[in-house]
Amino acid sequence: MKISRSEWTRKAVHAGMGLLALALKWLTWPAAALLALAALLFNLWVMPRIGREIYRDRARKWDTGIVAYPAMVLILILLFRNNIYIVAAVWAMMAFGDPAASIAGRVMEGPRLPWNREKTWAGLLADWSVGGLAAVLIFRFVSGRPLEPAAAVILVAGAGLYAFLESVRAGIDDNLVAAVPTALVLFQWDRAWGTLGLHGHAGSAGFVLAALVVNAAVALVTWRLGLVANSGALAGALAGALVVLFGGWGAYAVLWAFFLGGTAATKLGYSRKAKIGMAQAESGRRGAAHVVANVGVPVVLLMIGARPIAFVAALAAALADTLGTEIGGLFGRRPFSVLRLRPLTAGTPGAVSAAGLAAGLLGAAFVGLVAVLGGLLPPSGIAVVAVAGLIGSLAESVAHDLGGTYGFRLDHDFANAFNTFVGALVALEISISVEAHTLFLPVVGV
């Protein structure tokens, strides 16, 4: 596929701005933040007058990608101001991985990604390889210290995560999707490197075998009962095994609390919901996409060694979202907009109801209770998980409200994963703030 001259120029500018990440070696974080803010204001008010030829849609006042790029750099600097090398590494992925993916995907083409038919394997691998190399080199320069093998592994793995997140069909600009999650994972890996491993009986081959056998049997039973599709059985078995291996049987109980609660809510009044067009497809059977969207973030949180409350709250948000939709669809009256508090018609994306909110809060609290019984959290964690789960479940509703104003719409599966991510972050913020007796961001000053 031929790449236009304006697109080549756009990619060159995109990558060229990444060279400014080298300046983080000498700049203080306030100076770096001021430069990023200046770039953002320039792209908002000056670029529409002098640089519209590199816009993908010249009819629009602002190009989303051109505005989102400096905005995300600014956010990264503010969040990770005491870990500026992480900002440098992720900035390198943004600046060099993204153009490499676009160029390779269009020039080489080849097989399409199964989860996003608009993107190719060639683009994904180019994003990973070029972004990873750029991250390693710029990290080495900015940090000013010898590059240890562990650091290189973390950066390359982070670049793989960034490339995958960019390839996901999200419904919003990929600069807004990939940067902050990747930086958070790099931060956590940097703290936990050398301590990651299997929990409980980490060295026991019998423990690993038990996790695999139990989940294989569960996959077979749930498939035969028609609760999951073929792909859902396989994906669920893998996710369940990872939860046991990295979180133990208590975490596995929490996973089951989500699955049973969500499945029961989906089956409840299914025929009635089908008549009004609000029932889940395929008789409510879960496929691989459902597993990844709802369980992917919690599993990753376990694997990178995040606090248990983050894992629990992520699943609480997933269950609260499911209950809010299913119970709200059956019993909800007078659905409304979360941000504008104005009435909406039933079935409108982002609409919530009092019944749905109450069900979501109770569902999140139930997940917290199971976590307490499973030994993952103290009793005080139930309230934190309930609040975080409810807030996380509302993230999609807020995004739909904003999308109506700014012209975007989240992909459904991405929105589910986004909900779990928000729930985890809210739980971390609340729990650490309570410990510190002050408002605290986990990524600042640690």
**DSSP β-ladder status, 112-113 and 116-120:** antiparallel
Residue 119 lies in a domain: yes
Pair 136, 226 in one domain: no
Rounded-to-integer distance, Cα 246 and Cα 96, Å: 33
- Each residue's pLDDT, cut to its tens digit, for the chain (446 residues) gives 567 777 778 788 888 889 999 999 999 999 999 999 999 999 899 888 887 777 877 777 778 888 889 999 999 999 888 889 999 999 999 999 988 988 888 888 788 888 788 889 999 999 999 999 999 999 999 988 787 887 888 899 889 989 998 888 877 777 788 898 899 888 877 766 533 333 333 445 677 788 888 989 998 998 888 888 887 888 888 889 889 888 899 999 999 999 999 988 887 876 665 565 555 555 556 777 888 889 989 998 888 788 999 999 999 999 999 998 888 877 767 888 777 777 777 666 777 888 889 999 999 999 999 999 999 999 999 999 999 999 999 988 888 778 777 777 777 788 888 999 999 999 999 998 888 777 765 444 43
Pair 104, 251 in one domain: no
Residue 243 lies in a domain: yes
What's the confidence (pLDDT) of residue 126?
94
Pair 252, 284 in one domain: yes
H-helix segments, 268-353: 270-275, 288-303, 308-331
Which of 152, 171, 192 delimits the end of a domain?
A: 192
Q: Give the residues across from 336 on adjacent strands.
A: 343, 352
**CA neighbor of 199 nearest in space, from 250, 152, 159, 233:** 250
Pair 170, 302 in one domain: no
Tell me the three state secondary structure of residue 113. strand
Residue 446 lies in a domain: no
Helix (H) or strand (E) holding 69, with range, is: helix 64-79
Rounded-to-integer distance, Cα 248 and Cα 197, Å: 11
Cα 17–chain centre separation: 26
Rounded-to-integer distance, Cα 131 and Cα 95, Å: 8
Pair 171, 86 in one domain: yes
Rg of the chain on CA atoms, in Å: 22
Rounded-to-integer distance, Cα 376 and Cα 308, Å: 6
Q: How would you class 159 by CB atoms within 10 Å of its CB: exposed for 0-12, middle for 13-18, buried for 19 or more?
A: buried
> Crossing angle of helices 64-79/29-45, nearest 10°?
160
**CA neighbor of 349 nearest in space, from 409, 292, 407:** 409
Q: Give the residues across from 112 on adjacent strands.
A: 120
Pair 303, 379 in one domain: yes
Residue 199 lies in a domain: no
Residue 2 CB neighbour total at 10 angstroms: 6
Residue 168 lies in a domain: yes
Pair 231, 143 in one domain: no
Q: Are 43 and 66 in contact (CB under 8 A)?
A: yes
What number of CA atoms fall less than 13 Å from residue 129's CA on the CB side?
Answer: 9
27 lies in which domain range?
A: 5-192
What's the confidence (pLDDT) of residue 87?
94
**CA neighbor of 21 nearest in space, from 98, 94, 112, 103:** 94
What's the confidence (pLDDT) of residue 231?
78
b/e map 28-63, b = 16+ CB within 10 Å: ebeebbebbbebbeebeeebbeebeebbeeeeeebb
The DSSP result for 230-251, as a single string, is HHHHHHHHHHHHHHHHHHHHHH
Helix (H) or strand (E) holding 416, with range, is: helix 412-436
Which of 192, 224, 253 delimits the end of a domain?
A: 192
Which of 192, 219, 234 delimits the end of a domain?
A: 192
Pair 421, 294 in one domain: yes
Structure tokens of 88? Answer: 């440098």
The DSSP result for 141-176, as a single string, is HHH-S---HHHHHHHHHHHHHHHHHHHS--SS-THH
Residue 19 CB neighbour total at 10 angstroms: 13
Q: Which residue has the tokens 């956590």?
A: 188
**Domains of the chain: total:** 2
Pair 105, 155 in one domain: yes
Q: Are 349 and 415 in contact (CB under 8 A)?
A: no
Cα 124–chain centre separation: 18
Q: Give the residues across from 113 on adjacent strands.
A: 116
**CA neighbor of 304 nearest in space, from 444, 440, 157, 164:** 157
**CA neighbor of 176 nearest in space, from 87, 68, 265, 269:** 68
Rounded-to-integer distance, Cα 1 and Cα 97, Å: 19
In Å, how far are 41, 265, 293, 410 from 65, measured between CA atoms?
A: 14, 39, 24, 16
Pair 237, 337 in one domain: yes
Pair 317, 236 in one domain: yes
